Amino acid sequence: MAEREHEHVRVVVIGSGFGGLGAAVRLRRQGITDFVVLERAGSVGGTWRDNSYPGCACDVPSHLYSFSFAPNPEWPRNFSGQPHIRAYLERVTDTFGLRPHLRFDAEVKSARWNTEELYWEIETAQGPLTADMVVSATGPLSDPQIPDVPGLDSFEGKVFHSARWDHDYDLRGKRVAMIGTGASAIQVVPAIQPTVDRLTVFQRTPPWVMPRADRKITRAEHWLHTKVPATRALRRQLLWGIRELQVSAFTKRPKELGLVQALAKAHMHRAVKDPALRAKLTPDYTIGCKRILLSNSYYPALAKPNVDVVAAGLKEVRGNTLVAADGTETEVDAIIFGTGFHVTDMPIASRVTGANGTTLAEEWKDGMEALRGSSAAGFPNFLTIIGPNTGLGNSSMILMIESQLNYMIDYLRQLDLLGDRIALDARPSAVHAWSAAIQQRMERTVWSTGGCDSWYLDKNGRNTTVWPGTTAEFRKVTRQVDLAEYQVLRAPARTGNESTDKTVEAAA
């Protein structure tokens, strides 16, 4: 075989958050060591590295929001904070010997499928390489979104996004605007309210907020979970099972959420005594349509005398004055955007060019779709972890990631069985059928019928982010690669200078 002039690996994993690190562990456990993990930053952790804002924590219990193969008997709280989750991911990296595979400051600039050689050509900030397979684990919450607000450039104060917190900026005594009331903002607000002079919250749509059953996990529990691992496994099973039982209310019977909505209303009534403020904070859509948020401190913080809620989005900035859509004007020293991420328009998609010479972003311009959440047609040997319709509203994303990693391992196994210089390309008919079935199930869900707009929906109003079933069902449908859903691409073996014509054969 001709010597390659560039570095070639079997698998390139992009990103070192939960998805990328999980992929690395599973590859090594499968005996595959010829892979690299490309990370644009200087350390692992993904969204749990980047989101270091005050109050940042996970609202899925840690015993469930962790890898099944890397249990941690010593989680400090039910809902761990960002520093603990980030430290957990650093530990996973060391425990599973992932460091030799990591390339930091190696942002992927482009990835292009070579239709002759049947491999990916990848340009990174550290130089080029090629790979038989790419596993894109960049995550949906990696690129912050700041709305295009007229006049923002002219603002002379401090501006940053919750996922790019400026820890050098002292908020003490400042007049601060918090833009947005999503999962990030409702954690930031109570954390900074005691510090700032005035806090103005720009709320375009009120969220439904439920109590957060958080507490310290006791030393006795740590001891028990360490000495009797079955107790830890049982705890995880219970946390998982409760959430599985909730799914049908979201996906089939939104009316069943009425009781939950009443509990959320009571939660607000307990903390907010001012009827005018309560009116502003009461959503006009069914609970669950947007992500249900958990907090015991958000409503009490809003009721404090140094906090104002403007029940309108930010429309314009004039000098240091923020103008809301309802005309309210507020002068501030700093603006914090808690305005979410590029989810349905993830930037990596515009850097990946497939077999037809088009980018993933171009293919997805009318909506993302990928077979079993992983494979887009025309992008052979390219898997997306947390791809289209793999998100969850109420349970742990780690469960979905691990199911997709099962799929990845079976994909590699199938490639091995098929022989050398082989690629699998999802058949467009299989991808469309998968996506059409999901969209049909979507019609009954609370995300479609609940009367809200959310980041689950793309610009055409299609829900291309959430999985409309249980995590058990997703695990089942991703257990194995069904070869009938793929075209097998075969390149002739290289012998000296012979042609490398690619042949396409129909799968069995």
Q: CB of 204: closest distance to ligand NAP in angstroms?
A: 3
| Span near ligand NAP by CB under 6 A; candidates 8-16, 197-205, 242-250, 464-472 | 197-205
Q: CB of 466: closest distance to ligand NAP in angstroms?
A: 10
CA dist., res. 60 & res. 80, Å (int): 9
CA dist., res. 351 & res. 112, Å (int): 8
246 binds ligand NAP (CB under 6 A): no
19 binds ligand NAP (CB under 6 A): no
Q: How do strand 102-103 and strand 198-202 relate by DSSP bridges?
A: unpaired
**Binds ligand NAP by CB under 6 A, chosen from 19, 20, 45, 182:** 182
Per the CB < 8 A criterion, the answer to whether 12 and 35 are in contact is yes
CA dist., res. 65 & res. 54, Å (int): 20
Minimum CB distance to ligand NAP smaller for 98 or for 314 = 314
What beta strand segments (E) does 143-279 contain?
A: 158-161, 175-179, 198-202, 209-210
Q: CB of 397: closest distance to ligand NAP in angstroms?
A: 8
| Span near ligand NAP by CB under 6 A; candidates 121-129, 177-185, 223-231, 483-491 | 177-185
**Binds ligand NAP by CB under 6 A, chosen from 24, 118, 171, 179:** 179
Minimum CB distance to ligand NAP smaller for 28 or for 342 = 342
183 binds ligand NAP (CB under 6 A): yes
Q: How do strand 127-136 and strand 8-14 relate by DSSP bridges?
A: parallel
Per the CB < 8 A criterion, the answer to whether 27 and 11 are in contact is yes
CA dist., res. 180 & res. 203, Å (int): 5
204 binds ligand NAP (CB under 6 A): yes
- Contact map string, positions 450 to 469, toward ligand NAP, x by CB under 6 A: -----x--------------
CA dist., res. 317 & res. 155, Å (int): 7
**Binds ligand NAP by CB under 6 A, chosen from 89, 134, 185, 189:** 185
291 binds ligand NAP (CB under 6 A): yes
Q: CB of 340: closest distance to ligand NAP in angstroms?
A: 3
Minimum CB distance to ligand NAP smaller for 240 or for 434 = 240
CA dist., res. 150 & res. 318, Å (int): 8
Q: CB of 182: closest distance to ligand NAP in angstroms?
A: 2
CA dist., res. 177 & res. 172, Å (int): 13
CA dist., res. 200 & res. 352, Å (int): 41
CA dist., res. 277 & res. 275, Å (int): 5
| Span near ligand NAP by CB under 6 A; candidates 334-342, 369-377, 378-386, 466-474 | 334-342
58 binds ligand NAP (CB under 6 A): yes
The pair of three-digit structure tokens given for residue 133, joined into one six-digit string:
């397979």
Per the CB < 8 A criterion, the answer to whether 112 and 382 are in contact is no
Residue numbers at the binding site for ligand NAP (CB under 6 A):
57-59, 141, 147, 162, 179-185, 187, 202, 204-205, 291, 313-314, 338-341, 455
